[in-house]
């Protein structure tokens, strides 16, 4: 396929955020085998990615839909959450951030008594319905369909009544140069308000987020008291965390 058509496919995917492979075949009047070769080239360039019959843009200007993010690195996310859940104690009041990673934390708390969860994430709310040991307070706000969550219109006001022992925060990226970052501008104030009301701040992210910078800055690495992941970060991050008394939990 020539470069001009590759660019047209790339631009089309970026414009629409995510597109099915079938829709791309129809749009450009090409066979599935031809499209697969084109997608392979664009994936190797890092401009698009593919998941479950869809392709989506990797541009920082775009936000990947929740169902696509949830399908990526699932086992790594679950492993990171397993380590995060080890921090939770009976009678804790915890904040569970919206994200495709933090939604797995409740899978590992059924043995604990009297856990109070504050969240705006719909997936977490639904999961808590099956847990008799978990009480949920739902943050009010605007339904953010991209993140399956309610985003408060005034985050500080929404968190004002609560005293949180541990906040589990999701991030799209973490680097020593740029700190923690996220893809969705709507979520920034909610995340920061949660950190301001919490005794302990734990960032939960799979290892693909290390060294990556996303669109919206959340703050420096020192914003975290604890970082949970499925794998050990590189030596520079490990040394930085040691020097700044940030606990690392990983497999």
Domain count within the chain: 2
Query: Rounded mean pLDDT of the chain?
Result: 90
Alpha carbon distance 112, 135 (integer Å): 12
Higher pLDDT pick, 12 / 160:
160
Q: Does 151 lie in the same domain as 50? A: no
Q: Does 203 lie in the same domain as 81? A: yes
pLDDT, one tens digit per residue, over 185-233 is: 889 999 999 999 999 999 999 988 898 877 788 999 999 999 999 999 9
Q: Does 220 lie in the same domain as 122? A: yes
Q: Does 85 lie in the same domain as 49? A: no
Q: Does 14 lie in the same domain as 94? A: no
Average pLDDT on 126-151 reads 93
pTM here is: 0.75
Q: Does 233 lie in the same domain as 131? A: yes
Lowest mean pLDDT among 33-37, 46-50, 206-210: 46-50
Of 89, 90, 88, 49, residue with least CA distance to 72: 49
CATH code at position 36: 1.10.10.10
> Which domain-ending residue is among 37, 62, 87?
62
What pLDDT is attached to residue 61?
A: 47
pLDDT at 63 over 60: no
What pLDDT is attached to residue 229?
A: 97
Task: Name the residue range of residue 48's domain.
Answer: 3-62
């Amino acid at each position: 396929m020539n470069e001009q058509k590759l660019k047209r496919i790339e631009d089309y995917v970026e414009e629409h955020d995510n597109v099915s492979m079938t829709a791309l075949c129809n749009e450009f009047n090409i066979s599935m085998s031809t499209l697969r070769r084109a997608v392979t080239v664009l994936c190797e360039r890092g401009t698009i990615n593919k998941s479950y019959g869809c392709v989506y843009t990797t541009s920082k200007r775009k936000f990947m839909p929740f169902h696509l993010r949830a399908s990526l690195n699932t086992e790594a996310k679950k492993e990171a959450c397993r380590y995060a859940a080890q921090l939770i104690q009976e009678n804790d009041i915890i904040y569970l951030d919206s994200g495709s990673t933090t939604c797995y934390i409740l899978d590992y708390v059924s043995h604990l008594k009297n856990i109070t969860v504050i969240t705006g994430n719909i997936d977490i709310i639904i999961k808590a319905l099956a847990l008799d040991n978990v009480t949920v307070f739902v943050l009010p706000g605007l339904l953010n369909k991209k993140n399956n969550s309610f985003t408060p219109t005034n985050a500080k006001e929404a968190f004002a009544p609560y005293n949180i022992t541990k906040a589990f925060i999701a991030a799209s990226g973490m680097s020593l140069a740029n700190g923690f970052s996220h893809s969705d501008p709507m979520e920034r104030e909610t995340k920061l308000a949660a950190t301001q009301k919490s005794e302990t701040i734990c960032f939960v992210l799979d290892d693909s987020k290390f060294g990556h910078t996303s669109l919206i800055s959340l703050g420096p690495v020192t914003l975290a008291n604890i970082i949970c992941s499925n794998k050990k970060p590189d030596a520079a991050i490990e040394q930085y965390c040691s020097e700044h008394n940030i606990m690392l939990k990983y497999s």
